[in-house]
Structure 1
Amino acid sequence: MAHSRLIAPIARTVAIASLAGTALLVGSAVAQMSDQKTQGKPPAAAAATSSKPETVEQRITTLKTALKITPDQEGKWNGVAQAMRENASSMEKLVATKRAIPPEKTTAVDDLKTYQEFTEARLDGLKHLTSAFKSLYDSMAPEQKKNADQVFERYVPPKPAGQG
């Protein structure tokens, strides 16, 4: 019983992070390390860009529709959408910086530091998104909150190409 109570919040957290638009697939970075060396990208940068099945604008539109945002909530929704855009922009800048480093100049320690930087950027972005989303969520009617809870609970991030 305690296990199922733990899983739901974790699943919801993963869904929120995925919907945030940060596009970082941290878990795949380690698995992709050897493959990415040969593709000329630092591993975490490759993980961050390896699968972008939709743009941040598409994610924003999809989430807005799924959450059934009302005209009265547009202002608060715009804060969520802006947080998603800023998170994606921040991640894209970090990816560009890491792509500029030739793989042959990257050590195992550099790989770990890159992984850390992407994880920190993702966490900072999630904090920013959580703040904006809480304001929106607090304005929702009970049935809309229940829908939002279900949207985040059911969300399964798309798998990167080649990961089955």
Structure 2
Amino acid sequence: MMRGGWGGGPMGPGMMGGGPRGGFGPGTAAAPGDPAAHMEARLAFLKTELKITSDQEAAWQAYATQAKQQAESMKALRARLPAAAQSTPEVLDQRAEFAKQRAEHMKALSAATKDLYTVLTPEQKALADQYFGGMHMSRFNARGRGR
């Protein structure tokens, strides 16, 4: 359910794979049901692939912190899901609340992402565009729209 931008949170369908736009390579099955653990593994992979330098570390850490916070938030939202069946209005209210919280997290993550992007070299930006571009496709896009 990571959609749009460089956001964090649970991965949507089709997000696990072996490279650019398809996942993050080795270790993709590290934590299939835990978005926070999955994000940790993904961030470690991306940091290595991008070859983040000591001069870029502060911007990377700000980005990684936001991505982890969003993943933890999504994990907490999942934990709040009721075990019993809900009525349609209850389901829609819950979805609206989740969307609102995701939007708030995405705003913070977007700012951290922009800060990181400004300190990347052109080569790192090209890699980031490949890896991050497919990292957060919506479920709709992951099913092949636009391909």
Q: Please, what TM-score do these two structures have when normalized by structure 2? A: 0.65
> 2:21 aligned with 1:21, yes or no?
no
- The answer on whether the counterparts of 1:21 and 1:59 sit within 8 Å (CA) in structure 2 is no
Measured at CA, do residues 21 and 155 of structure 1 come closer, stay the same or move farther in structure 2, by a change above 3 Å?
closer
CA shift, 1:65, in A, is 2.2
Aligned partner (choices 30, 47, 55) of residue 64 of structure 1:
47
- The answer on whether the counterparts of 1:66 and 1:151 sit within 8 Å (CA) in structure 2 is no
1:113 and 1:89 map into 2 onto residues whose CA distance is 21
- The answer on whether the counterparts of 1:22 and 1:84 sit within 8 Å (CA) in structure 2 is yes
Tell me which residue corresponds to 1:122.
102
- The answer on whether the counterparts of 1:21 and 1:85 sit within 8 Å (CA) in structure 2 is yes
> 2:84 aligned with 1:103, yes or no?
yes
- The answer on whether the counterparts of 2:9 and 2:67 sit within 8 Å (CA) in structure 1 is yes
> 2:77 aligned with 1:94, yes or no?
yes
Amino acid at match of 1:82: T
- The answer on whether the counterparts of 2:63 and 2:113 sit within 8 Å (CA) in structure 1 is yes
CA shift, 1:116, in A, is 1.4
% identical aligned pairs: 33
Q: What whole-Å deviation, never above 9, does each CA across 1:15-66 have from its counterpart, x for those lacking one?
A: 635xx3311659xxxxxxxxxxxxxxxxxxxxxxx95586221121122223
Measured at CA, do residues 113 and 156 of structure 1 come closer, stay the same or move farther in structure 2, by a change above 3 Å?
closer
Amino acid at match of 1:16: G
CA shift, 1:14, in A, is 4.0
Q: What whole-Å deviation, never above 9, does each CA across 1:40-95 have from its counterpart, x for those lacking one?
A: xxxxxxxxxx9558622112112222332122111110001100111112222222
Tell me which residue corresponds to 2:16.
none
Q: What whole-Å deviation, never above 9, does each CA across 1:71-125 have from its counterpart, x for those lacking one?
A: 2111110001100111112222222222xx3424x21001111111222222222
Q: Please, what TM-score do these two structures have when normalized by structure 1? A: 0.59
Tell me which residue corresponds to 1:147.
127
- The answer on whether the counterparts of 1:84 and 1:129 sit within 8 Å (CA) in structure 2 is yes
Partner-residue secondary structure (3-state), 2:9: coil
More helix by share: 1
- The answer on whether the counterparts of 2:59 and 2:115 sit within 8 Å (CA) in structure 1 is yes
Instruction: State which structure, 1 or 2, has the greater radius of gyration over its C-alpha atoms.
Output: 1
- The answer on whether the counterparts of 1:56 and 1:84 sit within 8 Å (CA) in structure 2 is yes
Q: Which 4+ residue blocks in structure 1 deviate beyond 4 angstroms?
A: 50-54, 154-157
